Chains A and B, each alone.
Chain A
């Protein structure tokens, strides 16, 4: 099978806004969910109109849109699926992502859409990939337990496109094989109701008389980060690198899309990653809320150090997303939607769609009515003086502790 020249960067888009952010920041493709059939029930997700607009927006910029239908659907859930599938085909989505054979068969019956098999199906080996190919799949999103080397073998021997996770939160369990929420909270984790019980702290009694109960977050995994092994993905011909996180922020969607696409572009230009820019990109990844990073199974069997044995803390305390640029012009200045407050004098970083952050000190802040203000508030709109290079839809962040 022909080796893909470079893998696509596939970013999460939990909403239409996030889709635009991901595409503008360099994602080659995005995956999105409709109001039903996906695994992120609590996510904003897309209405039909937004799906249509999202596909047009992405296609106009050369990016693809995949729609998740990756719940393990019950019979009653399947009844609405044909209409939705027909709609998806009419708006020309590039593929749907499924994990259930019944869903796959329904998609095949009612459309000619390309079908990607979700990581939820825990496809782990060549034979499983061959089976899904016979069922009509054109791509496999491998289980996160598979190494890059194994993935290359699966791609070559099953002759099917391979997608792997490169970044983001990880299930500790084989995906699709965890039903803790189902049986303890009455929420079907495989239909979008995961309660994240694996992130709880547990007391473990190993039955040893001399031993106190150990308290541990023993089922919680560190977050995946594959920046340092991008070359391995390329060499094994992996077709698509997926970033987890449809529930995550705009800043996350933008930063991840930007860092991974710029890193691959660097390789495309120079044929290696031997650059101090790697340190810069790694630092960029650290500016978004995350658990400690691990390469998990990408190169080796994950050991004890892959467990995130800590309390879940929102680490956005180091860098905050300030907001989004609504408009930037010499006439109107920079008009931005504030998501997190900032003060006069704070140094803001505007993230351009390509290249390094543009630093702007907020020496003069005005409200929409042009009155000066000293401190902004979330869910307000303010103006800053125009700065060269800043444009509409850019994300803005700042270091939480300003000096």
Chain B
């Protein structure tokens, strides 16, 4: 497993070289969400990186509407001869690169792509041009382990860095600033809400939009060895926000993890760290509680719904089964709170209040009131 990371200036490149990196991710301000490098700076950085023997990767990870896309594809061509591979996230960028260039590609599949079929689908689509796929940090260890056995190209995972929660092309911070902002000015803020227990979300606005991050950074440093044994190809160490001074201690931990040194590192590191869903992803376990399943049980022997319950008088049932409701039918009524009632229909009236033998579907049937039954109760046939 090899480490990979970003460089923002020439000094960073020197640090990476001395720490044994074989590649560097460069961010041009036009193509990268958080890129700072101008044309000249990018060329200088790419050239210097190559002199140092580093493989140069261009991060083209912005999402682009057609107008922006048209501008970017014209501009990106001028940089392709400087880089060894291009990292893309917008499927349009992937397709354009596949169709119009011969550069090796790295696909950032960090957003969604939580199943093997999707990941292999992207790889197959690239027909051998994809040299790496970047996995989502929402995947659990067990899932990653499975994928690494199945995926035919090297995979990359974030090992340390910010967790991006939200990305919009709209300018949300400058909108709150009364003074007009110069073009390309960056804004940053820290956000907290009384409706969330988490305080201190970093927010950044730049020319590409507005981004909000988690209050903690993601770290799998303590699992680096495990990931290597599982067959992870690349571990990304994203120190763009905290600076290259942390590269040496982080690399030391990746090479040879020691809990004590990690504890010291965590003390010095400016952000708290979390491992996210690495051990287990249970982000769907709350779903059954989001709705009353007793109101949902409408399969099979479903007869209809109680629309009105008048004590001492009647239950009005909207008949929803093509079989209709018949005198002598035996019913089970399921209360929204879970209680059930069994009743035999011995009296059945229609809307004209006439005693009838049958009430057809999509009409209202009146049966004698049953104590404890409310409107919204669901009605089923018994037998």
Contacts and interface: CB of A to CB of B under 8 A. Distances in A.
Interface of A: 35, 41-45, 47-50, 72-75, 77-78, 99-106, 121-132, 134-135, 143, 145-147, 150, 153-154, 172-174, 176-180, 182-184, 186-188, 190-193, 197-198, 200-207, 214, 216, 218-219, 221, 297, 301-304, 306-307, 326-327, 331-332, 335, 337, 367-370, 379-381
Contacts of B281: 74
Nearest to A378: B375
Nearest to B218: A183
Q: Which of B175, B197, B363 has the most CB of A within 10 A?
A: B175
B94 A131 contact: yes
B299 A327 contact: no
Q: Say whether chain B's binding surface is mostly helix, strand, loop, or mixed.
A: mixed
A306 B170 contact: yes
Contacts of A72: 112-114
B288 to A, nearest CB: 9
A183 B316 contact: no
Contacts, number: 279
Nearest to A214: B176
A99 to B, nearest CB: 7
Contacts of B116: 75, 102
A36 to B, nearest CB: 9
Contacts of B112: 72, 99-100, 176, 190
23 contacts: A41-B290, A44-B295, A47-B299, A49-B299, A74-B115, A101-B113, A101-B118, A102-B117, A104-B121, A124-B63, A124-B69, A125-B66, A125-B92, A131-B91, A146-B65, A183-B276, A184-B165, A188-B138, A193-B283, A197-B193, A204-B203, A207-B188, A369-B353
B64 A193 contact: no
Contacts of B375: 379-380
A249 to B, nearest CB: 16
Given A177-B167, A182-B138, A332-B352, A204 B67 contact: no
A182 B285 CA distance: 12
Interface residues of B, number: 91
Given A125-B90, A131-B125, A100 B115 contact: yes
Contact of B63 (A77, A105, A122): A122
Contact of A126 (B66, B138, B318): B66
A178 B172 CA distance: 15
Contact of B91 (A132, A188, A207): A132
Given A45-B296, A105-B121, A202-B191, A127 B99 contact: yes
A73 B174 CA distance: 36
Contacts of B222: none
Contact of B187 (A105, A123, A206): A206
A201 B176 CA distance: 13
B170 A128 contact: no
B196 A75 contact: no
A219 B92 contact: no
A313 B375 CA distance: 28
Interface in B331-383: 351-353, 363-364, 366, 374-376
Given A49-B300, A178-B166, 4 more contacts: A74-B115, A102-B121, A307-B172, A380-B375
Contacts of B175: 218, 303-304, 307
B84 interface: no
Contact of A368 (B201, B290, B296, B366): B366
B165 A180 contact: yes
A112 to B, nearest CB: 18
B165 A127 contact: no
B114 A337 contact: no
